[in-house]
Structure 1
Amino acid sequence: MRKTTALIAAVALLGGLTACSGGTAASTAGCDPVVLPGKASAVVTAPGKLGSAPKVGFPTPLYTETTQASTIIAGTGAPITAGQPVILDVTILNGADATPLQKTSYAATGGSLITAGKSTFPAVSEGLECAKVGSRISIVGSAKDSHRGAADAANGIGKDDSFVYVVDIKGTFLAKANGADQIPVNGMPAVVLTADGTPGISVPDRSAPKTSTVNVLKEGSGDKVKSNQFLVVKFTAIGWNSKTVFDSTWTDHQASVLQVGAATVSPGLSKALIGQRVGSQVLAVLPPRAAAVADGSGKAPADDAAVYVVDILGIAG
């Protein structure tokens, strides 16, 4: 099956993870979709049971200059709001000739994670806004929204080709930590949040703690995190002395998945998150040894304490 870098970046595969529903409820009234139905999205057919790979049909060539989205199967869950991570299955085809480009596994315990709202590849992320959990929707993405209008001759993609996405919405997670505010701890970094939950971190004018220090800023009421679970999170991390962001999910408007206790997550961060509850926001200050990742893939500075602010949005498996 053909794949492109743009497609893989737009739909990050998470094979084997369990779909969960944990999003904050939103009323249908007052949910204003960014992407509206149109003639192109309306002609896409995708019969079959939700959660099984559909046989997608549409007249070719199918083009649109603006991304459109229509409902094929109406779900009964809560409407999706900007910022919510969504687990979905998706089939992607080239609108020019119906060539298959990519699809997920459609396994009962699998799916892909993408965050609704603004992103580098807005066809799907913005097309999800106001759709309901349990729905199958058709999105016909413009060339700009699907592949930035860049031709890919090796995969038969022209610069003006629209992409057709048939999306099964399996579940959602919190858009940001929603736990009860806790009393800040003196001497720890101060955290100020924007309306969408993006944290701003102010480090005090003092030396960093020599041992790992954890402060719960918001205490959630969801499930408790256990070792080796996959967590859906949003986070920002800065150096204590440099005061420079070295990693953040908020910059590209996408949530991330961490397997706490695994070699891909630092021991200090895993320890800070295990035992916390979904909906919590956790502030962790980790000395270099605790912030280092065993497999060498981490971004934390080797000579500076790392400051993490982590929103625990759900447990994915």
Structure 2
Amino acid sequence: MRKVLAFLLPTMLFLTACGGASTPAEFDQDGKSAGAVETLESVEVTDAGPDTAPEVEFDAPLDITEQGARVMTEGDGAALEAGQNVSVHVLSLNPEDGSPLQNSYEAGAPQTLPLDEELQEVYPPLYEVLLGSKVGSHVAFAIPAEEEVPQSQDVLLMLQVISAENPPQKLSSEEVAELEEAGQLPTVTLNDEGVPSIEFPDNEAPADLVVKVIEEGTGEEVTEADTIAANYTGWSWQGEQFDSSFDRGEPSEFPLSGVIPGWTQGLSGLKVGAKVLLVIPSDMAYGDQPAQGPAGPLAFYVEIVEKVSAE
């Protein structure tokens, strides 16, 4: 459940100034809202554009005892749909005095917030308010402290919806063949010891997940619930190798439910012994600005050596 909080409260620079000036938006009693919205009655927002933190004013302190969310200013873009990856700028404020805590505008990159079942479960008012709201909207979200979370505190978030995209999908074998025929996929070469090298094409990475089966497996089929052993090498789309079990001299074991989505979806359904090329978009890997792991789209050569255990 804390995974969603990581999207909403990433490590960001402290706010030092708010730019722009316009008439603060009046609190719309008929605006889309959910949860304990009475907490937000005094909140006013001054939009400063998509690249600058808005000015936020309220009667401090806010008494936040339950989650509450409200659209403060309505955007004029497309309506958000369930399942989309929503790009948001986040301004986090201390409800006691309005002081800034975190600010993605100054960090220079919006955060990706999946509008999915996890968000609906953990932050239902925010999910309800975002669903159907429009790109460009400012959304206020009050979150009370949680006893089970160390150093947790009440927080007022102001989210600005920058864009929304449908999440990447796994391409069909026919679609993968079309990309390969067009010369848009990396080429993997194995040396005499079976160690892979790779050559990348001069084009951007595919937007969806590519699973190119180099050699079919003949063993048991693996599922998301399985733990497997695999040999692999990973490269960034710029061609830089960042990890390889071949360099360590032995396969690595991992549960398919505990790795990046590109591995989970890309390897599930294959059989032990399969050798595959995975081309993984950043949204199914570590993201464009990860706290750990390589950034951007990635390519992996993977050999499924063994099914270690199954649930």
TM-score, length basis structure 2: 0.49
The higher relative CO (CA closer than 8 Å, separation ≥ 6) is in 1
TM-score, length basis structure 1: 0.49
Which structure: larger Rg?
A: 2
